[in-house]
Structure 1
Amino acid sequence: MTKYLSPYVNRDLSWIEFNRRVLEEAQDARNPLLERAKFLSIVSSNMDEFMSVRVAGIQDQMRAGLTKTDFTGYTPAGLWKRLIKRATGMVFEQYRSYRDVVRCLAKEGICIRTVEELNLTQKKAISDYFHEIVFPVLTPMAVDQSRPFPLVHTKELYLAVLLKRDEAIEEEEPLFAIVQVPSILSRFVPVQGRINSKKQEFVLLEDVIEQFIDTLFNGYTPFAVNPFRLTRNADLTLNEEGAEDLLEEIEKELRRRRWGIPVRLEVAKGMHPFALETLREELEIEDNLFEIDGPLDLSFLMRFVGSLPGYDNLRYEKMEPVYPREFDDSDDMFEVIRQRDVLMYHPYESFDAVNDFVLQAAYDPDVLAIKMTLYRVSGQSALVQALAKAAEAGKQVTVVVELKARFDEERNIAWARQLEKAGCHVVYGLVGLKTHAKILLVVRREQGTLRRYVHVGTGNYNDNTATLYTDIGLFTSHPVIGGDASALFNEVTGYSSPYEWKAFGVAPTDLREKLFRLIDRERENALAGRTAHIIAKMNSLSNQDMIDKLYEASQSGVKIDLIVRGVCCLRPGVPGRSENIKVYSIVDRYLEHARVMYFYNGGDEEVYLSSADWMTRNLMKRIELMCPVFDPGLRMILINMLRLNLEDDVKARELKPSGLYERVASRSETPFRSQFEAKKIQLWKGHA
C-alpha cells in the first residue's frame, strides 16, 4: 500500500492547485486569445482574496504563537512557508504567460506599449492627456519629519518616488514620496493610432504618470520611480452578540479594514533598494515580498478585454441565454408552476425568469407575502427593485440580507437600506451564522386557500453572475417543500422551535447528518451486494468528518464520483482507503458553481440541489439549504448534467493520490467538452 504523509490534502495547498488550473487556461493556446487574458485577470483576483483572507489568517495564528498541527499535518508556520513558495512560483509563471499573451495580442494589432515606444505625435497626445485629465487628480505625499507615512490602501497601486533636491550635496539621503495611481481613471490609456496603421495601441496609466512625475515635484529631481502594491488583512472581526446594531457594527469594521495588518507587498522588479527598505520598514512587512516582472495587478485585463470593440475571432462564441420555454406559452407564471415543477440551468437559461416571477408577484393582487434571502446581489438588481415595488403595493415583504458576505458588505448595506425605505422587513440573519441559503417564497391566495410557490437555487440571486456561473434553479409549488420553506423563514426571522424538516436538509441543524444518512444508505446497499453509487458536485470539499464518511463508504464498495471545482482535501485512489473514489475538477468558460447530489438508492434514484459546499463553515456555521427534486423528469435532466461533467475530456482534470491534478485523457476521437454540450438543455427538457 502506498503511504502518504496524511490521508488529507491541505485546504490551502489545494486552493493553490485550483488557481494553477485557472492559470493553465490562460496558457492554453486552444482558448481564444482575449479569453486567455481574462483568465490571467482571474488568477490575480483569486490571489488577492487568498492573500487577504487565508494567508492573513495563517499569519494571525503565527503571531498568536500557535504551533499545533491541523488535521492535514501542517503547523501554521510550516504551511505558510509552503504556500509562499508555491505562490511565488505561480506568480512567476503567470507573468511569463502575460508576456506571451501580450506578444500574441500585438500580432493581432492590440499593442500595450511603454511611453518611450510611442512616436512624437503620440507622445504629445499622451502629454495632453496627462496634464488635462491625470495631473489634477494626483496627490504626491512626501514622507519626512513633519509628514508621517501616509495610509496605503489595500490592493491600490502606488508609485514610490525617490528625489534629490536640485541643490543637494552628493551624500545627502534621498527624499521619499508616494503617489497613488488613481483607480477612478482607466488603468489602460488608448493612444491615437499611427498613420496608415490599423493597430490599437495602449499605455498603462502608471507609465504615463512616471513619464511626467517631475511635474509633481518642482525644485526636486526624481531619480527612481517604482510601482508597489500592498495587500492587507481583510477578514472582519465582529462581536455580533455584543452589537446593538449589526449594520452599524459591520460599517465600523469596514472602516477598520483599511488599517488591516499588511499581508503581502508587491513591488516592480529592480526596485531601488532605498525605496524598498523604506516601504518594508514603514509597512512593517518583513516577509511575503513579491518582485513582479511586469505590470502589478493583472486584474485590469478583465476591463481591458471588455472595453475592446470587435475582435470576435479572439473571444468565445457569443451565447445568449434562452428564456425558459416552460413560461413561453403563458403570461401567468403561477399557472405554469402549479401544473409542474420548472428547472432552470444558468447561464444557458436566462435569470430574467426569476426577476419576472418576483415582478409578477409584486403586482398580483392575490399575492399576500414574498420572502427571500439575498447573499450577493448585482449592482443594478432588478430583483431588489421588484421587492421594493411589492412592499409599496402593500405586500408583506421579508428579505434576509446577509451583511457579512465577504467583499460585498458595502453593497448589501446599501440594498438593505433601500429595501427598508421601501417598506420591506429586512432581517440580518442569526447571530454567529451567515445566511447562505438561496430561497424565495411567495404566498398566494387561491380559491379560498393559500398556496406557496418556491424557488430554490444553487447560486446567488445575482443577474450578473447568472451569466458567468453554472447554477441550477428550481420553481415548485409542491406543498411539502412550501411547508419547509415557511418553517425556514420562521426560524431565521423569529423565535421558532426546532422543526422536523419533511424535505429540506438545513444547516447547521441537520444537513450534515442528513448527508451522512444518505451516504450510509449507499454503504449498506454496497455491503449487501447491491449497486451503490454517489455523484456529488460542489465547489469545495474540506470537512474532515465528511471526508472520513466518504472513505468509509469507499471501503465498503460504494462507487463515488466527485466533481469538485476548487478545494478538495480528500485524497482519492488510495488502496484500502479511497480506491473507489474519483475526483474531477472542471475549469472552463463558465465558473462551475452548482451544488448537486445524486444517490442511486437501490435504483430509486434521488437528486438534491444545495447551496452548501461540503466545508466546515457551510455545514456548521451557516444557514444552508438542501432541497430534493421530486419530479422524475427533472431528476433525469440533472443526472444527465452530472454525466456530462464526468464525460468531459477537454477541460476536466482528475485529482491524483499525490494531491496534484492531471488532465483527463481523451476517451474518443471526438473531444467532449461538457460546458459546450450543456447548450442542449432545451432538447433534454423536451423543447426540441
Structure 2
Amino acid sequence: MSILYFPKEISWLAFNERVLQEAEDINTPLVERLRFLGIYSNNLDEFYRVRVADVKRLITISQNEEQFDTAAELISLLTRIHEKVRGLSAKFDQTHRKVTKELERYNIFILHHSQLSQTQNQWVQEYFRNHVLRHVAPILLDNKVQLIQRLNDSSVYLDVALYRPGRTTRYAVVEIPTNATDRFIVLPPQRTRKKKQIILLDDIIKLCVHEIFRGFVKFENAEAYSFKITRDAEYSINDEIDESYVEKMSESMKQRLIAEPVRIIHDFGMPNEMIADLRKRLRISSSDTIQSAGHYRNFKDFISFPNVGRAYLEYAPLARIRNKTFAQHDTVFQAINKQDILLYYPYHDFLHFTEFVRQAAFDPMVKHIRLNMYRVAKGSRIINSLVDAVDNGKKVTVVVELRARFDEENNIAWSKRMTDAGIKVILGNPSVKIHSKLCIVTREERGKLRHYSHFGTGNFNEKTARIYTDFSLFTCNQELGLEGIEVFEMIINPYRKYRFNLLQVSPINARSKIQSLIRQEIQRHTEGNKACITIKLNNLVDPELIDDLYRASQAGVRIRIICRGMCSLIPGVKGRSENISIISIVDRFLEHPRIMVFENGGERKVFISSADWMTRNMDYRIEVGCPVFDEDAKQMLIDLLELQFQDTLKARVIDEKQTNEYVKRGNRKNIRSQIQTHEYLTKREEF
C-alpha cells in the first residue's frame, strides 16, 4: 500500500539538503559556499527548536494518554530524523573541510589557535586582553548552580575543565561573546600581505582561557571544548493571570529560556568525563539529545563570513531596479492611480515601499494609515515614518503580531515605542496568528475617501527584502481596499461575521475559495476546455488541499508546482498523481512568494498570497490572498513562473523519495532563473 503523504519533517530535511548542495556546488563562489554552510546550520537549529521539539512533545502526550500506536509511529519518525541528520552532518563536515582547504588556494586561511606563529600568538593574547576579556563572565560550576537555567540557545559556550593533580576537576562554562565583538578576526599580515589569515573568537578564548581564571581558581592546566544547546521554541500563555498581553508574552519568552533542551552538540574531542558531567548538569537522559560534531558550534555566524579575498569569491551584486511608473510620477499616489503596480523584491528596490509609507506620513490628503507588522528590521524606517505620521496629525493603526517566532522581543519593543508615540497598536489576536502583509493608506480626495492598498507575500522588513524574493502589489482598486480594511476590522473585532468576495482570507474563506478554484479546473477539463493549475509555495503539507490536487490530477488536470520547502504531496504516482510535477529552486535568494494561477478555460485567474498550503495557514492564522486583475501584472507573474520552470541550473525535481536530483538539462541551454529574472525585469522597466 503506497503512502499518501511524504512526512513533512523528512521533507524539511530534504529542503535543507538542497541548501547544503549549494555549499557543495563547485560553481557557487567559494565564500558563498561557506555562507551556505552557515545557512544550513541556522536552518537545522530552527528545525530542532520547532519541529523536533514538537515531535518529542507529541510522543510524551501520546504516551501519557496511552495512545501507544501513535507514540510508536512518532518514535519511528524521530529515529528517521536522527538518521537523516547524521547523514547530512557527515556531508556537512566533509564539505566544510573541502571549502576551507579550497580557500587556502586563494590565500585565505582559517587558523586553529595551535597553528599560530609566536608573533601571532602574542598579538592574539594582546587582542584578548584589550577587546575580549571585558565581555567574558564565566560560570563557575558547583552543586548550587542550575546550569540549564543559565544557558541561552542563541549562544555558543566553552566547557572548561580546570585540572589540579590529586584534586577533583573543577568545571566552568564560558559564553563566547559574539554579540559584543566580531567572531572572525583577521590577523595582521606576516611578510606578505597576499596571505589573509583569520582566527575565530572561539580559538582566541581557548588560547587565553588561563587568563580568565588565574587568581580566582587554583589550577595547573585548563582545557576548553565548545558546546551548544537547542531548546524547545514553544511557549504557553497563561490566560488566567490578569496582566497585559505584552506582559504575558514577556513572561512566556522566559519559559523558552528555561525550556528543556532538545539537542546538545559538543566538540567531538570533548573528553568522556566532561560529557558525563555536562549530561548530569543539563539533566539529559536520551542519548539522541546529545551529539558530537565538528570543531565549531553556532556555525550560523558563517552566514556573515567576511570576504577578505578577490571579489569573484562572492556573488556580484545585482543592481536594484526602479519601477518606471513610480519614477515617472511626482508622488506614489499619482503612480498607483494610473495603474496597478507589481514589484518583485529583491530585484526591485524596496525603497518603493518605504517611500509609499514616507509620503503617506506627511501628505496633507492622507487621513489614515493601516499596517500589519509581522517582522520588521531592527532599525525600521517604516515605523519611523509611522511615528512621523502621528506627529503630522494622521490616524495610524498598526497590528503587531507578538508571536512572530524568534522576533517576539523585537516586536514587543516596537509595540511599546509605537504606543508611546501615539499610534493605535493592536496586539494581534490571542487565538490566531496574524501573518497577512497589508498596508492601506486612506486619502481624502474631492471630499471622498479613497484607499491605496498594498498586498504582499513578504514582510515589511528592509533587511530581508534584500535576500528574500517577494511580491508587492500596489492598487487603488476600491473593492480590494474596502475588503482589506475589513481584515483590519476583523482583527480588532473578531467576534463579528465577515464576508469577503474578492480576497482569500484565512481562516474565513481561503480554504474554501482555493478548493472551489480547483473544482472549477476539473470542470473546465471535463468540458474540454483549457485546464491547468500552477502554484508556487514555500510549503505544501495540508492533507485536505493535497487530496484536492490528487483528485484534479486523477481527473486529467495538469498541475505544476514550485515548492521551496516542505512538500508532503507525492507526485508521479500512477492512478493518483501522474499529472503532477514539482520542482524546487534554491539559489542566492530565498524563494518566498506564494502564487496561484488557474487556467480557467484560457481566462486565467491569478493570485498572490501570504499563506502557504499548511493547515496552520488555512485554519489558525489570519492570511490574505489577493486576486491580480491588471493584465500587465498578471503577465509578469506568469512570465516569471515560466522562467523558473525553465531553470536548468538551480532547479531540483521533487520525486516520491525526495532525492533532490537536479532537473536534467538535455539539449536545453543553461538557464539560471534568478539571473534571468533580473534581466527580464531590467528590460521590462526600461523607460
TM interval, shorter chain, is over 0.9
What SS does the aligned partner of 1:663 have?
Answer: coil
CA distance in 2, matches of 1:460, 1:611: 9
> Contact between 2:226 and 2:295, CA under 8 Å: does it hold in 1?
no
2:172 counterpart letter in structure 1: A
What SS does the aligned partner of 1:299 have?
Answer: helix
What SS does the aligned partner of 1:575 have?
Answer: coil
**Residue in 1 aligned with 2:457?**
458
**Residue in 1 aligned with 2:561?**
562
Compute the TM-score of the two structures, normalised by the length of structure 2: 0.95
> Contact between 1:88 and 1:290, CA under 8 Å: does it hold in 2?
no
**Residue in 2 aligned with 1:58?**
55
CA distance in 2, matches of 1:315, 1:576: 46
**Residue in 2 aligned with 1:382?**
381
> Contact between 2:34 and 2:305, CA under 8 Å: does it hold in 1?
no
Spell out the pairing of 1:345-364 with structure 2 (5 A cutoff): 345-364=344-363
> Taking structure 1 as reference, are residues 575 and 651 closer, same or farther at Cα in structure 2, changes over 3 Å only?
same
> Contact between 2:6 and 2:567, CA under 8 Å: does it hold in 1?
yes
**Residue in 2 aligned with 1:122?**
120
> Contact between 2:140 and 2:171, CA under 8 Å: does it hold in 1?
yes
**Residue in 1 aligned with 2:300?**
299
CA deviations over 1:80-110 (Å, ceiling 9, x no partner): 1110111121112111111111111111121
**Residue in 1 aligned with 2:185?**
189
Measured after TM superposition, the shift of residue 316 of structure 1 is 1.1
Report whether the alignment pairs 1:270 with 2:265. Answer: no
Measured after TM superposition, the shift of residue 544 of structure 1 is 0.5
Spell out the pairing of 1:568-579 with structure 2 (5 A cutoff): 568-579=567-578
**Residue in 2 aligned with 1:178?**
173
**Residue in 1 aligned with 2:623?**
624
What SS does the aligned partner of 1:400 have?
Answer: strand
> Contact between 1:241 and 1:431, CA under 8 Å: does it hold in 2?
no
**Residue in 1 aligned with 2:602?**
603
CA distance in 1, matches of 2:264, 2:667: 47
> Contact between 1:262 and 1:284, CA under 8 Å: does it hold in 2?
no
1:301 counterpart letter in structure 2: F
Spell out the pairing of 1:135-534 with structure 2 (5 A cutoff): 135-145=133-143, 147=145, 149=147, 151-165=150-164, 168-169=165-166, 172-183=167-178, 184-218=180-214, 219-239=218-238, 244-285=243-284, 286-287=286-287, 288-305=289-306, 308=307, 311-494=310-493, 497-534=496-533
| 5+ residue gaps, structure 2 | none
Equivalent pairs, count: 678
Measured after TM superposition, the shift of residue 180 of structure 1 is 1.8
Between stretches 152-161 and 571-580, larger displacement belongs to: 152-161
Counting aligned pairs with the same residue, the percent is 35
| 5+ residue gaps, structure 1 | none
Between stretches 156-165 and 678-687, larger displacement belongs to: 678-687
> Taking structure 1 as reference, are residues 147 and 249 closer, same or farther at Cα in structure 2, changes over 3 Å only?
closer
**Residue in 2 aligned with 1:25?**
22
Between stretches 202-211 and 350-359, larger displacement belongs to: 202-211
2:38 counterpart letter in structure 1: S
CA distance in 1, matches of 2:664, 2:612: 27
What SS does the aligned partner of 2:568 have?
Answer: coil
> Taking structure 1 as reference, are residues 248 and 102 closer, same or farther at Cα in structure 2, changes over 3 Å only?
same
Between stretches 506-515 and 651-660, larger displacement belongs to: 651-660
CA deviations over 1:366-401 (Å, ceiling 9, x no partner): 111010101000111111011111111111100001
Measured after TM superposition, the shift of residue 507 of structure 1 is 0.2
> Taking structure 1 as reference, are residues 317 and 427 closer, same or farther at Cα in structure 2, changes over 3 Å only?
same
Report whether the alignment pairs 1:43 with 2:44. Answer: no
What SS does the aligned partner of 2:577 have?
Answer: coil
> Contact between 1:375 and 1:460, CA under 8 Å: does it hold in 2?
yes
What SS does the aligned partner of 1:441 have?
Answer: strand
Measured after TM superposition, the shift of residue 549 of structure 1 is 0.5
1:62 counterpart letter in structure 2: I
CA deviations over 1:416-458 (Å, ceiling 9, x no partner): 1111111110001222111100011111111121111101101
Measured after TM superposition, the shift of residue 134 of structure 1 is 2.0
CA distance in 2, matches of 1:493, 1:321: 37
> Taking structure 1 as reference, are residues 110 and 529 closer, same or farther at Cα in structure 2, changes over 3 Å only?
same
> Contact between 1:18 and 1:566, CA under 8 Å: does it hold in 2?
yes
> Contact between 1:324 and 1:344, CA under 8 Å: does it hold in 2?
yes
CA distance in 2, matches of 1:675, 1:39: 17
What SS does the aligned partner of 2:597 have?
Answer: strand
Measured after TM superposition, the shift of residue 311 of structure 1 is 2.5
2:211 counterpart letter in structure 1: T
Report whether the alignment pairs 1:134 with 2:121. Answer: no
CA deviations over 1:505-532 (Å, ceiling 9, x no partner): 1000110000000000001112223221
CA distance in 2, matches of 1:87, 1:145: 34
What SS does the aligned partner of 1:75 have?
Answer: helix
**Residue in 1 aligned with 2:664?**
665
> Contact between 1:637 and 1:684, CA under 8 Å: does it hold in 2?
no
CA deviations over 1:147-176 (Å, ceiling 9, x no partner): 5546222132111122233xx42xx44222
